[in-house]
Amino acid sequence: MNLIAQISDTHIRLPGQLIEGKIDTFACLSVCVDRINALPQKPDLLVASGDLADTGSAEEYRRIKTELDRLAVPYCVMPGNHDLRAPMREAFGGSAALPVAESGHLQYAIELEELRVLCLDTLDEGNEGGWLCIDRLDWLHDQLAASRKPAMIFLHHPPFDCGIPGMDAIKLGNPGVLSELLAEHGHVIGLSSGHVHRSVFTQWAGLPACICPSPAHQIHLDMGENTPLSWTLETGGFLLHRVKDGMLAAHVVNGPTPEITKYN
Ligand SMILES: [Fe+2]
């Protein structure tokens, strides 16, 4: 059995800088790290699936690294549309958190006992929506062809609509190429993204597909055609993926570590 915690869209800024003047993303991440460290079963890995930093400055990556280094579990980081590859590589590159070569896309495979974790780089720098170029697709194909071990794919941009028009407009821009590639390989057991700042579950390309919430602000759940994107401070959280015998069960974990009371 493998357990993978997933956090997403931490949007870390510098001390004293609140998003929208109200959202203390660093404090929200701290609550989340405490909760993960208090889990009764320690995850084998934590995947931070993009939008680690809010503006992509080197200082923001240094700040989030201090907090992620508090995790009692190994972690790895992936880029989202708010991230920039160069400063991310500078902060994390070459360590277990970002095991990539000197240049290029920030994608890599991590071997767990029952599972290969494939972290896919969907960042299209300068654009909010995601993209998978031929180089990244070739890499994924090679990874899936190299091993028949069950694999789970993590990517920042969801390849499917969640129903919130403003987010669907900036999802993965070419999901068809990914579904075609996955159809060639029968051993992917699921995929999970971030980006939407809400927990969402569906089936896509015949696979279980999740979207991880943010530990900080959530996107307002409004599917109206012409509704502008809005944010809320409803309780944030993370996902805990349990993989056993090639089957995925994803738990949504919200809020701070709760008080636990045994049944009488
Ligand atoms: Fe985000």
> Which pLDDT score is estimated for 103?
81
For residue 80, report the distance from its CA to the centre of ligand 1, in Å: 7
Q: What is the whole-number distance in angstroms between the Cα of residue 238 and the centre of ligand 1?
A: 13
Q: How far is the CA of 215 from the centre of ligand 1 (A)?
A: 11
Q: In whole angstroms, give the CA distance from residue 40 to residue 240.
A: 12
Q: Tell me how far apart the alpha carbons of residues 93 and 168 are, in angstroms, rounded to a whole number.
A: 31
Distance 82 CA to ligand 1 centre (A): 7
CA of 11 to the centre of ligand 1 (A): 7
Of 177, 178, 176, 198, the residue nearest 254 (C-alpha): 198
| C-alpha 172 to ligand 1 mean position (Å) | 14
How remote is the CA of residue 223 from the centroid of ligand 1, in Å?
A: 18
> 51 CA distance to ligand 1 centroid (A)?
5
Query: Distance from the CA of 142 to the center of ligand 1, in angstroms?
Result: 29
Distance from residue 167's CA to the centre of ligand 1 (Å)? 10
Distance 115 CA to ligand 1 centre (A): 27
Residue 251 Cα to ligand 1 midpoint, Å, equals 20
CA of residue 74 to ligand 1 center, whole Å: 22
Q: If you measure from the C-alpha of residue 250 to the centroid of ligand 1, how many angstroms do you get, rounded to a whole number?
A: 20
Q: In the prediction, which pLDDT does 256 show?
A: 94
pLDDT at 102: 76
* Ligand 1 midpoint to CA 262 (Å): 37
| Span from the CA of 114 to the centroid of ligand 1 (angstroms) | 30
**237 Cα: distance to centroid of ligand 1 (angstroms):** 13
| Cα of 214 from ligand 1 centre, angstroms | 8
Which residues does the chain have with pLDDT short of 50?
none
Q: How far is the CA of 195 from the centre of ligand 1 (A)?
A: 5
Strands 218-219 and 231-232: antiparallel
CA 257 to ligand 1 center in whole angstroms:
23
All structural domains of the chain, each given as residue ranges with its CATH number in brackets, are 2-254 (3.60.21.10)
